[in-house]
Chains A and B, each alone.
Chain A
Amino acid sequence: MADGGIGAAITRKEDRRFLAGRGTYTDDINRPGQVYAAIVRSPHAHARVKSVDVSQALAFPGAVAAFTGADMAADGVGGLPCGWGITQIDGSPMAEPPHPVLQAERVRHVGDPIAVVLAETRNGARDAAEKVAVEYEVLDPVIDTARADADGAPRVHDEARNNICFDWQIGDAGPVDAAFAKADKVATLNLINTRMATCAMEPRAAVAEYESGTGHYTLYTSSQNPHVIRLLLGAFVLNIPEHKLRVVSPDVGGGFGSKIFHYAEEAIVTWAAAKVGRPVKWTAERAESFVSDAQGRDHVSKAELAMDGDGRFLALRVSTHANLGAYLSSFAPLVPTYLYATLLAGQYATPAIHATVRAVFTNTVPVDALRGAGRPEATYLIERLVDEAASVAGLDPAEIRRRNLVPPDAFPYQTPVALAYDSGNYAETLDAALKDGDYAGFETRRADAKARGKLRGIGLAAYIEACGAAPSAIAGQLGARAGLYESAEVRFHPTGTVTVFTGSQSQGQGHETTFAQLITERLGVPVENVEVIHGDTDRIPFGMGTYGSRSLAVGGSAIARATDKIVAKGKKIAAHILEASEDDIEFSAGTFSVAGTDRTLSIGEVAGAAYVPHNYPLDELEPGLDESAFYDPANFTFPAGCQLCEVEIDPETGTVEVVDFTAIDDFGRIVNPMIVDGQVHGGIAHGIGQALFENCVYDGASGQLLTGSLNDYCMPRADNLPSFRTDTRETLCPHNPLGVKGCGEAGTIGGAAAVMNAVADALKPLGIGHIDMPASPYHVWQAIHQSRNKTA
């Protein structure tokens, strides 16, 4: 193998351009003659639109055009589609109200788009947009997740009675009820999983152009899955045949889920480009991102755990309200169901689980997948509940976990909530975290902190996630309206260099490096001779994009399959040239050889022969060395691990400081340890962010987003984070060709739970029970203050 294959911590190929400011993001793309779009958005959370008058906007100097929902309707533009349907408990389909691109009749959240104004300059478009006169009849909004279904609550959609999108369940209630009836002990917890904004560093942007001569559209958009955007936009919204629509996603500066979805602005600029015959560009401002990017989480849950006298889990019962916001975002129904409740077994061999989920509409920004998507919500619920159970059972939190883990010899392990875990060794990651984080020595550190006036706490999170949702056939039965495979093409050039075309779409994860390392490993081509191409529907085969930590497990496996085909064809070519039987050809580290001889051909020479087929078996083999593969996994992958967090709380101010963080992860085989470490670091920061800082706060009466800027929505910063102690353990995924599991979300999935368990542990000596996220200074101080008032 050439240097740089699997296991090599080589630096990222893409960082040369990113660090030098040479990346190309969507806003860097400018097309000749382009105009700029500004979106007129609702300032109200809920209102009837009585009239929209664009005449003053059109009169503004430099204004080019202005369009409303009525204009789009007149052109037969469809609504934004939802990619997942849920069947309710009673067998009926979920409520699926229409989601117009521009609202003509009613607005349902602050930021809901009403009109678009095009002008010669970006600033001019904004100026002109302010001249659009909209007359509203303001209606009462419904905001609160837990009370959205109350009788008499304002109704978001006529199609959804009591604002209920669906009632859904998983697991079997009978055995759960029976187990609770005979339980020795029960732990109960009511908890809120806060709503998060994604805050990708690069705001969403879209540039569209239309070639009237050919009828071709091109949309440049900051997306995690350009083919899915092409499908949804072309087939459902604008009725553009896919061969006439090209979607390009160049460098993407962070997505975290929010750039999976098909958004109104993509449809608006594409449609408008044809209307005015000029390219149209839109770039979100940060304030616009806060009210138009899908947000994440927002659950209110009750969780109960039944135990026997030894603290062994007998049954878990969960009831969750999930807020979907004002409309169904592209994959919204999937998140609080099959990505959430199916993970409620966690790492534990709980024999009976039953969960019900009621998804509700509210007058808030739509909610969809955000880093972890359902799995952080599940992990937070279980891991907080297990700590509560430890308290109820009088057991150490590490010990109660150990007693209940799925044992290493139980795989494949069928949970009571549909998933079959394929491999893992949960005791190993738990033990490693306890050892590396010096769990045994904690009480000394707690005492030291106390002497300094600080409350120190320690918290565990033993997480599991399901990555690379699969297989497509099962997903289809569960409501998916798309497949979940991935595509790859491995193209040798005549001189032996390689271009890889992948349907995975990097948002900064380092695919160009990791995927090149797969080629190095499997075909012996040096990393610098491999180029990875993604993000252009005219260049790459139909692909499903990047989310759910699927790129390596699914996209990488597709590349592996394509390399197998390259080797198979290469053997035929080598056999011909080396005048040997194909069965005698061996391939290793980039060299074909005749077994037992010193006769060899490099893969570069084979590629040369394939493209200059002078000495070539043309009668039985096509020229060229270029192979494609589509890979549809047999199952999810199941990364798992254990995080151990220590915090110190200043009881006078309520400030929580994360002082130590250990993460032991099992991601299966690791291709580039440095990239994996980076993903873990970012993930943990995201988890700490939710636990301590981030929170979307809506005013309950007006529906205004009170945290609509980075002055109020608190993102974690470098000085909020400790140095992380990370390490990995390895159990291979048995069903994909690489043995890989995925690493992009793990840090976030466990992170919030580990921090909040540590916070709860620190506050326990004051008699404080569960507090909800974020554990901001103010919230923590309130809890301390109230407890002192109680005891005073």
Chain B
Amino acid sequence: MYEFNYRKAASLDEAKDLFSKGEDAKYMSGGMTLLPTLKQRLARPSDVIDLAAVPDMSGIAVTGDTVSIKARTPHAVVAANAEVKKAIPALAKLAGGIGDPMVRNRGTIGGSLANNDPAADYPAAIVGLGATIHTDRRTIAGDDFFQGLFETALEEDELIIQVDFPIPDKAGYMKFPNPASRYCIVGVMVSSKGGNVRVGVTGAGACAFRVKEMEDALKANFAAEAVEKISIPDGDLNSDIHASAEYRAHLVTVMAKRAVAEANG
């Protein structure tokens, strides 16, 4: 890696202060994307500001109809949390399927969302469950958060503090992993809450998106067969050596169908 200044912030204010002083600073939460990127010399930040020592950034609270997960909560903690498993089992399943045990123990929900890798798992949960993202300065609706390839609504120095997931009546998550990287070729989170249905897709496009046609069909009939004939256009989908856009579009339908079946238990 290239040389950089390593800064360990003791508070949010210090983190932001260090960020503003750095020429090209980067926040680091778990570092599971940033560190490999640095090692491969694909990024050259002036400063890496480690958030690990900022107090009160990790933890899970389940209250009434909301699961609240603080930004630096590792995936493994979400996956193993008994209350999450009870409230939104699909979310615990999603977290438990990210990367490998090392990644799950270091990587965090806030880091994943801020990075917005098109093949990450969590974005499917944000749009598929209708989450709300709280930052150090405002609240952002999950539907507005992802804006393009590695692009989010976050301002340059803005930090995610907490993510709130409304507890659905039912939800299901199905992922078709890239055989090599185990990132999502396609991941689909479906949920139903009080007659509202969400279908959140990750991996297929530049960033996570919802599939309105499937949501409408599921509103009428929340059953696997309601979506099995609905295909999404492949024009804007990702295409690479592991999967063409056409294959990804097909997998969205298959994963959506299976996610609905899982949601229905």
Q: Tell me the A residues contacting B by CB distance below 8 Å.
A: 123, 126-127, 287, 652-653, 693, 697, 706-707, 710-715, 776-778, 781-782, 785
Contacts and interface: CB of A to CB of B under 8 A. Distances in A.
A712 B242 contact: yes
A127 B241 contact: no
A127 B181 contact: no
B251 A653 contact: yes
A693 B180 CA distance: 8
Given A712-B181, A781-B247, A127 B2 contact: yes
Nearest to A707: B241
Contacts of A123: 1, 3
Contacts of A714: 179-180
B201 interface: no
A710 B180 contact: yes
B93 interface: no
Nearest to A711: B181
Given A652-B254, A714-B179, A778 B243 contact: yes
Interface in B214-245: 241-244
B33 to A, nearest CB: 12
B104 to A, nearest CB: 15
Interface string B180-195: 1101000000000000
17 contacts: A123-B3, A653-B176, A653-B251, A693-B179, A697-B241, A707-B241, A710-B181, A711-B180, A712-B242, A713-B180, A714-B180, A776-B179, A777-B176, A777-B179, A778-B243, A781-B247, A782-B247
A780 to B, nearest CB: 11
Going nearest first, the 6 A-B pairs with the smallest beta carbon separation are A714-B180, A711-B181, A714-B179, A652-B254, A778-B243, A697-B241
Contacts of A777: 176, 179
Contacts of A712: 180-181, 241-242
A271 to B, nearest CB: 27
Given A776-B242, A778-B242, A653 B254 contact: yes
B210 interface: no
Nearest to B258: A652
B250 interface: yes
Nearest to A693: B179
Interface of B: 1-3, 40-41, 176, 178-181, 183, 241-244, 247, 250-251, 254
A547 to B, nearest CB: 28
A693 B181 CA distance: 12
Nearest to A127: B2
Contacts of B181: 710-712
A776 B247 CA distance: 12
A715 B181 CA distance: 10
Contacts of B41: 126
Nearest to B246: A785
A459 to B, nearest CB: 20
Contacts of A126: 41
A431 B1 CA distance: 57
B260 to A, nearest CB: 14
Contacts of B254: 652-653
A287 B1 contact: no
Given A652-B254, A653-B254, A706-B241, A778 B180 contact: no
B241 A287 contact: no
Contacts of A707: 180, 241
A47 to B, nearest CB: 22
A693 B177 CA distance: 13
A645 B168 CA distance: 44
Nearest to B183: A711
A539 B179 CA distance: 45
Contacts of B251: 653
Contacts of A706: 241
A126 B41 CA distance: 10
A329 B254 CA distance: 46
Contacts of B40: 287
Given A123-B3, A711-B181, A778-B247, 8 more contacts: A127-B2, A127-B3, A653-B254, A706-B241, A711-B180, A712-B241, A776-B179, A782-B247
A782 B242 CA distance: 12
Contacts of B183: 711
Contacts of A785: 250
Contacts of B241: 697, 706-707, 712
B107 to A, nearest CB: 16
Nearest to A652: B254
Contacts of B244: 778
